[in-house]
Amino acid sequence: MKELVVLSGKGGTGKTTLTACFAVLARQKVLADADVDAADLFILLEPEIRQREVFRSGYVADIDLQLCVQCGQCRDFCRFDAISPDFVVDTVDCEGCGVCVRFCPEEAIQLKECISGEWYISETRYGPFVHAKLGAGEENSGKLVTVVRHNAKLIAEEEGLEWIIVDGPPGIGCPAISSVTGAGAVLIVTEPTLAGIHDMKRVAELAAHFRVPRAVCVNKWDLNREMTAAIEGYCCREGIPFLGKLPYDRVVSRALVNRKVLVEYAPDSEVAGAVRSVWEGLQRVFRASGGVESRAGGG
């Protein structure tokens, strides 16, 4: 199977629009939304949830104030200053290390599992879809990305599907690392601005670090032809396949407003043609990398 992860240096570059198009263009695929902090691929795919699971991301201490004699030992031992003077645990600061549990003379503290979100397996008209929702302010999105990718891979294996198409998270933080490690290839979607080039380079370096084949395409390329040329030049120097330039076209936002996938909403538009050409380029990237199999599981 081939796992493609679509990435961008920041949000709003058209990454999800492209991923949804690939969901239409790929045959025999499972789809995954690894942008768990701001999942929005579901808006276009209109999934029907078949399976719903709780995401457990770790532990926090919980003090039973009925048993507590306020000796203060837990506060003295906690390296993270997670316990208030009135012996209430701050669940954000608590790292779940368990030291306070161990030293409480009254056995008044327990570790409780944290439920940080949910993940789902859904059906869409394009195929199975694994997605997730992280609770507001919750951390551990990298771990949730790993859960999403892992389950997408299991489905691909069980159903003998050729493609895993992943809408990756923006940036180069922990969730991006979790989405890149072991992938078959990444497509970096960028825009022709100075910030866009800077972000693209950071993502390209991240993928190179994990030895994942890379490719680049530019969205709204005609808004700054000079910058687009600079991006092409960078790709050429770095040996990164440059797969195409998507023109600015209001039909893209019209498709989004109507909750439609661009290549279905306006199949004859120039921008839809450019997307199809990027998709064809991706087949070449996978062929050139020897049909790299997903080494997925995340990191």
Does 1 interact with ligand SF4 (rule: CB under 6 A)? no
Smallest CA-to-CA distance from 92 within 58, 53, 63, 56 is with 58
Min dist CB 187 to ligand SF4, Å, is 40
Closest CA to 183 of 28, 299, 287: 299
Tell me which residues in 69-98 interact with ligand SF4 (CB under 6 A).
69-74, 77-78, 80, 82-83, 87, 89, 94-98
Write each residue from 189 to 208 as x if it is in contact with ligand SF4 (CB under 6 A), else as -, in one continuous string.
--------------------
For the purposes of burial, counting CB atoms within 10 Å of the CB of 71, is it exposed (0-12), middle (13-18) or buried (19 or more)? middle
CB closer to ligand SF4, 91 vs 124: 91
**In whole angstroms, how close is the CB of 89 to ligand SF4 at the nearest point?**
5
Q: What's the CA gap between 291 and 192, in Å, rounded? A: 30
Q: Which two tokens stand for residue 46?
A: 């209109």
Residue 134 CA to its chain's centroid (Å):
12
Complex with ligand SF4: residue 73 or 193, whichever CB lies closer = 73
Contact call for residue 36 and ligand SF4 (CB under 6 A): no
Does 251 bind ligand SF4 (CB under 6 A)? Our answer is no
Please state, in angstroms and as integers, the Cα–Cα distance from residue 79 to each residue in 59, 95, 97, 100, following that order: 16, 9, 9, 10
CA angle (248 as vertex; 30, 203 as ends), nearest 5: 55
Asked whether position 298 contacts ligand SF4 by CB under 6 A, the answer is: no
Q: Which stretch binds ligand SF4 (CB under 6 A): 100-108, 133-141, 210-218, 240-248?
A: 100-108
Extract the tokens encoding 74: 């837990």
How far apart are CB 105 and ligand SF4 at their closest, in Å? 6
Residues of this chain that interact with ligand SF4 (CB under 6 A) are 61, 63, 68-74, 77-78, 80, 82-83, 87, 89, 94-100, 104, 106, 108-109
